[in-house]
Amino acid sequence: MLASLKSDKAVRLLTYMRQLAFFFFFVAASTLCARARAHEMEFDQARQVVLIVARFDNITVDDRTIVMNSMDTRTDAGFIPGYYSFSIIRESDSPARPDETIRMYVVSKKTADTWEMNLCTHYSFPELQKFQQDLMHKTGANVANDPDMPKAIGCANQAQMKPGSE
């Protein structure tokens, strides 16, 4: 009888230890996933980056005649996975004249590195650099986290620097 009680107690203890181990594993996995997501900027932050770069390009987004639209609406992964993409459009006031796409900006979700996709222009200027540094400080990312951006957006061979930058 005494051996049976010790055996039951051991089984209960083993079951409890398994449950506890599973709980700690689940908590650790959740924490790691949350940290991985923390290395990416939010959509609103990317929108803010695009407004900074548009201002640098002397484009005033006024939401009446010149508007900014996300190009990441077709899939959860976005227009280009790993990046936020925005178009700046001058809307026509006449049915005879089409809307005009002024710029197509791509922003790295990891570093806030920003390019104009059609012109293959990379942006780097003090106001943007400060925003990028602040963001990377918060997320723990660094510029080495996204070395393949020019290739990913189709600008590996024809990359240009924006005049007056870097």
- The whole domain housing 144 covers 40-161
Q: 39: closest CA among 144, 113, 135, 152?
A: 135
Residues 53 and 31 placed together within one structural domain of the fold: no
Residue 125: closest CA among 134, 113, 137:
113
Same domain, 121 and 72: yes
Please give the distance of CA 25 from its chain centroid, rounded to a whole number.
28
Model pTM greater than 0.85? Answer: no
Which band of pLDDT confidence, cut at 50, 70 and 90, is reported for residue 59? very high
Query: Do 82 and 46 fall into the same domain?
Result: yes
The predicted pLDDT at position 109 comes to: 93
Q: Does residue 166 lie in a domain region? A: no
* Cα separation of the two ends of the chain: 82
Do 57 and 12 share a structural domain? no
Same domain, 60 and 122: yes
pLDDT digits (tens, 9 = 90+) for 29-52: 444 444 444 578 999 999 999 999
| 47 and 33 fall within a common domain | no
Report pLDDT digits (tens) over 97-141: 999 999 999 999 999 999 999 999 999 999 999 999 999 988 888
Q: How many domains does the chain have?
A: 2
On whether the CB atoms of residues 54 and 128 are closer than 8 A, the answer is no
